[in-house]
Amino acid sequence: MSHNIDMTNGRANIAFLGSRNDIWHKLGTEMPEGMDVDAWAKAAGLEWFANKVPVFVDWNGVKTLVPNVKAIQRSDNGLVLGTGTDQYQPHQPRQVLDWANRYVEQDSRFRIDVAGSLKEGRIIWVTATFGTDGVTIAGQKHLIRLLMSTTFDTTGATINKLTDTRVVCNNTLDVALGGDKRAEVRTRHTSKFDADKVSRELEGMAQSVDKYKAFGDTMADMRMVKETVSKYFKRLLDIPFDVKAEDVTARKLNQFGDLNRAYSQTVREGAPAESAWAALQSVTRYVDHDKSTRGGDANEARLLSAQFGSGAAMKAKAVHLLTADEDFRALLSQPFVASAGNVDSDVKALLARPFVKA
């Protein structure tokens, strides 16, 4: 199987609005407008429950109960999705859909557009788009989505967060990382599901969109010359500014080159050259399209990393450097002046001598 879409029970457990050609692997159930939660749950294959069941060890035919350990098991096919302690509270697939529905009911600008599960049901996710025309940031169209997800393998909390898709290349960026904590709500699995509390917290998310737009426009007006872009990528990869090339691992050298090439492509797509926004968007492009992954389908693994793993952490660090790292911010200059040079030749020159001579 070339993807991690849940294919249990003989079907692709994903449902969507819009064209099938725009959907991951073109699988799943196409939904008409205006469907309720029950219809989404049925179409996305999310009608089952995650149950906690005892765990036993079989030794020479004698079964012994394992204390304070529970297996998380699907109610429809018996698959074990993970294990947790007695205190672990699985958040049900239907509850994630309920979160999405509650938010849509509170703000008519949102509508559910995708729901489904990955890895045989170990990850449940729902997205809802914000507005019909998107948001213009730094002169480019961006689509804002609410992403809701939960897991059953104890690897993380149930997460409700805003994400951003830049239309020209499907770059995603966690809006929460722009500095507004309202843009992400986490519910630990040791806590009981409180739909009303989550609903109230989600009300603040729409308000953070305006703050994110202001953040992007500010980054577009913040100048970052190509030498500073180089330092930005080095700091992101934990490469000292004064290091020699032979003292850098091949992996980091490759990452550095990929980030610079992503920067060139980002500028060609319309991001303002020599701006902090172009540098930041090049990081998200790299994470979502170029970053190497281990095992399985590369595109699938990269998506999971970008939203839930090391890729998301790299995006977080990229924003932190621009907003909260005073040492690095001192390298930036204002006001922004558009570059008249050729970005491709600039990047090639930068890559030719980016490190201290031996």
Tell me what pLDDT residue 92 has. Answer: 92
Domain-located, residue 2: no
Q: Does some domain include residue 199?
A: yes
**Stretch among 38-42, 207-211, 278-282, 313-317 having the lowest mean pLDDT:** 207-211
Residue 342 or residue 173, greater confidence: 342
Higher local confidence (pLDDT), 123 or 142: 123
pLDDT: which is higher, 154 or 60:
60
pLDDT in tens, 292-308: 544 444 444 444 444 44
**How many domains would you assign to the chain?**
3
pLDDT band, residue 196 (cuts 50/70/90): confident
Residues 247 and 321 in one domain: yes
Q: Does the pLDDT of residue 80 top 80, yes or no?
A: yes
**Which runs of consecutive H residues, i.e. helices, occur in the chain?**
37-43, 93-106, 195-202, 205-220, 226-236, 250-268, 276-285, 298-308, 310-323, 326-329, 343-352
Bridge partners of 141, per DSSP, are: 136
pLDDT at 304: 45
78 and 113 inside one domain:
no
Q: For residue 1, is pLDDT > 70?
A: no
Give 304-335 pLDDT, tens digit per residue.
Answer: 444 445 677 888 888 888 887 787 777 775 44
Same domain, 128 and 14: yes
Residue 343 has pLDDT above 80, yes or no: no
Residues 345 and 267 in one domain: yes
pLDDT of residue 348: 53
Cut 0.75: pTM above it: no
157 and 22 both lie in a single domain: yes
Instruction: Specify the amino acid at residue 250.
Output: A
Using an 8 Å Cβ cutoff, are 104 and 1 in contact? no
Is beta strand 62-74 parallel, antiparallel or unpaired with respect to 80-84? antiparallel
Q: Are residues 19 and 146 in the same domain?
A: yes
Q: Give the model's confidence band at 182: pLDDT under 50 very low, under 70 low, under 90 confident, else very high.
A: low
Q: Which residue has the higher pLDDT, 203 or 40?
A: 40
Residues 194 and 116 in one domain: yes
Give me the torsion for CA of 264, 276, 327, 345, rounded to 10°: 30
pLDDT of 153 reads: 74
Residue 358 falls inside a structural domain? no
265 and 210 share a domain?
Answer: no
Closest CA to 98 of 51, 46, 29: 46
Judgement on whether residues 69 and 102 belong to the same structural domain of the protein = no
pLDDT of res. 117: 92
Residue 117 has, within 13 A of its CA and on its CB side, a CA count of 34
In this structure, are 136 and 229 located in the same domain? no
* CA–CA gap between residue 89 and residue 272 (Å, rounded): 47
Query: Considering the domain boundaries, does residue 207 fall inside one?
Result: yes
**Residue 276 is assigned to a structural domain of this protein:** yes
196 and 295 fall within a common domain = no
In this prediction, residue 46 carries a pLDDT of 95
With a cut of 70, say whether residue 287 has pLDDT above it: yes
251-286 pLDDT per residue, tens? 999 999 999 999 999 888 888 888 888 998 899 888
Q: Indicate whether 154 pLDDT > 60.
A: yes
pLDDT tens digits, 227-241: 889 889 999 999 988
What rounded mean pLDDT belongs to the chain? 78
Domain boundary among 194, 216, 238: 216
Does residue 197 lie in a domain region? yes
| Together in a domain, 158 and 40 | yes
The domain in which residue 226 lies consists of: 221-352
More confident residue, 8 or 157: 8
Q: Is residue 3 part of a domain?
A: no
